[in-house]
Chain A
């Protein structure tokens, strides 16, 4: 059976989110309608939080929504988000400003930095997570190694993004509801990895034991096994 969509080959995005108003539009649409997409990853991260944890790191914060959500739920834990796209970081900062003004209890900080050189000490984070960012990473193998480096021995790395080769029915299901955002969605999907691509990246990063799961449209990479 011939595929419906042109997604066989990965097509990296040359300059994702290169325009600030486009990012604000994306942020608004995520907040207004696509927050559904954040629910499962948010729940998975919250379920990993244990008594005594002190530090959570988000690698590629997008517009900061997930860090703010997790931080708000656990004000005793420091949540640090690193983003290498200036426009995404700027909107994340705007969101953070608003939540500070609204007296958030969250202890959240965002910082511009290279994802291939995370500004954290070895074995310093209890949870290292990422959502909808992997497909934009400039040097994914190095970033995966960095996630491993900063994660505590009993901590966990969990990275979620779209699966370019997800069942086409899942792609269609989401696509039919997107309207204006449909083109950006398909561009991001084309830049996303397949499970095999990710296994190859993990191999190159010296992390062959990490786990790769598929869930609907998503791809979940984890340093420990998860019961999904």
Chain B
């Protein structure tokens, strides 16, 4: 007990003769590889061209035109090199990649090779990088498929939509199912072991029987992933669409979703992201790792979105401006935001749920918080609705009901402030905001 009457210096024990020069350390053997480890990183490459523009597709894309495609490819290569020479990027190895569009294979096989050689030459691409590319049954041929495999692309995704001739014609796609089946065989023969096809339900004139036919075909053809999307009719007054049979009612479209989920799981597929199904071992990790694990993503190409260095951002959407900016030596970063710790946690939860499951231990390691405590109220509400279950490992979305409502579930974790903002899809709403400076 200190006696206040004593002088101050008397309170000290003997002077410690060990200098404090380090913090105590639990030493184990360590190598230079442990100190200079390269963290994983991903790339998203956006190729905004299509060889044919489908009137049923609402996305922004350009007709392939040799005048602009090569200029674009040259700019894309410059953008890749610009990133590649930055020390932060050099400290990472690229383990994930997704090449989307548009139709990336609207490039010639020579251009595809040029792009892939540049990616592998400039960036620290991991030898086992999980690289996916999108194509369509008409925009792929043997030469392109072999080039892609040879240059390191491991997964290919074909926009099939349906195997029914009439349904194909009604969405303005080449109406030959045989051509689609040949294309799937072609990519399998070229060496793609992981082949995804996109299917659509809710098409004009589609019935449960015709939907089942398309699903059966997918299973029969031995594809490893099936993703399906609900068709949305955008061009209601298009003269091309006027004479078409009506789209199925909402009840039927809902039932088609549940039917497909049941059918695919019964045939050895496992569900992820709600409407994507893969054979065991073939689920792409791109979404899971860039979302749940928060692996940074370099966005490459116009409108591409990514997140690096505590910023989420997207690239200049206008292709001419994109080319000009890249040629001027700058990155084409257009809009985005610095992200706070709190929003990063919410984002991890929102996107983790979107990947169907959130691991409690891993979440804590990455973000330093227990999501089950932080989002107790939201999770209990979702549990009551039968949409998610909590286990000792974490949260799991309950299929198939929860898969169907996956976006609703995911949005339950938006913050009140941020749910008012758009997802970053290339729109600029800042002129209308009350206080632009405060963002």
Contact = CB atoms under 8 A, between A and B. Distances in A.
Interface of A: 1-6, 31-32, 35-36, 39, 167-169, 172-173, 175-177, 182-183, 186
A3 B434 contact: yes
A182 B432 contact: yes
B434 A6 contact: yes
Max count, chain A CB within 10 A of own CB: residue among B417, B419, B420, B434: B420
Interface string B405-439: 00000000000110111100101010111110000
Contacts of B434: 2-6
Contacts of B425: 176
Nearest to B428: A176
Interface of B: 234, 236-237, 416-417, 419-422, 425, 427, 429, 431-435
A202 B189 CA distance: 70
A163 to B, nearest CB: 15
Max count, chain A CB within 10 A of own CB: residue among B421, B422, B432, B433: B432
Contacts, number: 44
Given A31-B237, A35-B236, A176 B432 contact: no
List 5 A-B pairs, minimum CB-CB distance, nearest first.
Answer: A176-B427, A168-B420, A176-B422, A169-B420, A6-B434
Given A35-B236, A186-B432, A172 B417 contact: no
Given A4-B420, A6-B434, A176 B429 contact: yes
Contacts of A186: 432
Q: Is the interface of A mostly helix, strand, loop or mixed?
A: helix
B432 A175 contact: yes
A77 B431 CA distance: 45
A186 B421 CA distance: 16
Contacts of B419: 169
A5 B416 CA distance: 15
A183 B421 CA distance: 18
A119 to B, nearest CB: 31
Contacts of B237: 31-32, 35
A172 B416 contact: no
Contacts of A182: 429, 431-432
Nearest to A33: B234
